[in-house]
A = this chain, B = another copy of it.
Amino acid sequence: MNRRTGKESKESILEAAIKVFSEKGYSQTTVREVAKEAGISVGGVYIYFKNKEDLYATLLNYLLKDFSDRTKETVKDMSGPADALYAVIAMNLKYARRYKGIIIAEGRDRGFKSCLDVKKRFFKKQRRLIEDIIKTGTASGKFKECNVKTAARVIIGILRGFVFSLLIDSTALYSAEDCSNIILNGLLRRKE
């Protein structure tokens, strides 16, 4: 009957949940559906997760942590702040495409405390990462002087927009180049 270890089962449920939640969002996803996708019974899900909310929060935590780590890793290898920012944007777009529906979407409307905490921690990390990039940029003279905190917040907002745009319009194909180009150069003509 149980051909898997507990850990394997938990992971396969988590994977299934990522898939289903990604496609349908929180409220449209049934536990039964996740169970089926994971190849386990309904009751089986409740061995590993206290309830639907717990499953969602765990998944969110897992995903955001993974995303956070990878982004940090990628940024580390970049030579300059512009490249770093580009990398962050690219990373965001890539994940958005992959985990359509989860990264930002829903969970919000439930106001699950467990989710809010997870998200808050994540956004804080991201903000720090971007603040660092901006600081490095201004320190090296590549970026102009600006209020680092404000700029970072705005960038975060912009990133969210790219991500969310992908979510609501799957045909939208934002390129990281185009996005970073505007963020870096702005629209205004530079005085020569």
Are B188 and A188 in touch, CB under 8 angstroms?
A: no
Chain A, 13-48, contact with B by CB distance < 8 Å: what is the 0/1 string? 000000000001111100000000000000000000
The reply on A162 being an interface residue by CB < 8 A is yes
A positions within 8 Å CB-CB of B: 24-28, 82, 85, 101, 104-106, 108-110, 119, 123, 134, 137, 141-144, 146-147, 150-151, 153-165, 167-169, 172, 174, 178-179, 181-192
- B residues in contact with A184, CB < 8 Å: 186-188
- B residues in contact with A167, CB < 8 Å: 108
A-B contact pairs, 14 of them (CB 8 A): A27-B109, A104-B164, A106-B106, A142-B188, A151-B187, A153-B178, A154-B181, A158-B158, A158-B161, A158-B182, A161-B162, A164-B164, A185-B186, A190-B190
